[in-house]
Amino acid sequence: MSVMAIMLTREDLDALPDDGLRHELIDGAFVMTPAPGLSHQSMVGALHISLVNASSKSGLKVLLAPFSVVLGPNVVEPDLLVAPAEAFTQRDLPTAPLLAVEVRSPSTGWLDEGRKLTLYEEYGVASYWLVDPSQPSITVLELVEGRYTQTAMATGDQTIEVTAPFPIALNPAELARM
């Protein structure tokens, strides 16, 4: 007996009911994750406030999930994303963002540090931040000659200073307390 894989498309994803859950399409497979927990959402909220404040004069837009980013046949929803305001449509961001941020949770860590990392790298997401709210840390990855290189990391009460896509200083422990 053989098993035939069915590759899903953006149209299949769009046909799903709006149930408030995160729906992604990665390599033709439907990926749905449960609603995040308190520490995840608190960290996302604190990062959103910090990014919006830091980006105010940059002409860049900062959005929270759920908002679709189209990377070839893949549709992902980073926890936070930054891109030029004019790059967005009402429906999605049809190109790689300048920054994608994923906040780790027990149900998504494997994906954030695995296939999403390689997708973001492959499609040219210039900066990718991996954030852990349980042991507050921020890891900054930047594309260097088409490959991600860790350019900064802060844990606990350390402050990290990043220049792209705009200058910002962040302290993981302070963000976790917000």
| 120 closest CA partner among 104, 153, 142 | 142
Indicate the average pLDDT of the chain.
90
Strand order in the sheet with 137-144: 60-64, 80-84, 99-103, 127-132, 137-144, 147-155
User: Between β-strands 99-103 and 80-84, what pairing exists: parallel, antiparallel or unpaired?
Assistant: antiparallel
Q: Of 114 and 47, which is predicted with more confidence?
A: 47
Can you give the pLDDT at residue 1?
46
- Cβ neighbours of residue 5 under 8 Å, at least 6 residues apart? 28
Q: What is the pLDDT of residue 100?
A: 98
Residues 78 and 100: their CA atoms lie apart, in Å, by 6
Q: Indicate if the pLDDT at residue 5 is higher than 70.
A: no
CA 9/CA 80 separation, integer angstroms: 23
CATH class as words, domain 36-177: alpha beta
Average pLDDT for residues 20-33, to the nearest whole number? 77
CA 91 to chain CA mean position, Å: 17
* Spans of all domains in the chain: 36-177
Of 68 and 107, the one with more pLDDT = 68
Average pLDDT over residues 27-33: 79
For residue 121, the model assigns a pLDDT of 97
Distance CA(11)–CA(168), nearest Å, equals 38
Convert the pLDDT of each residue in 106-137 to its tens digit.
877 777 787 899 999 999 999 999 999 999 99
For the cut 70, the answer to whether the pLDDT of residue 26 exceeds it is yes
Q: Check: CB of residue 13 under 8 Å from CB of residue 23.
A: yes
Q: What is the mean pLDDT of residues 84-90?
A: 97
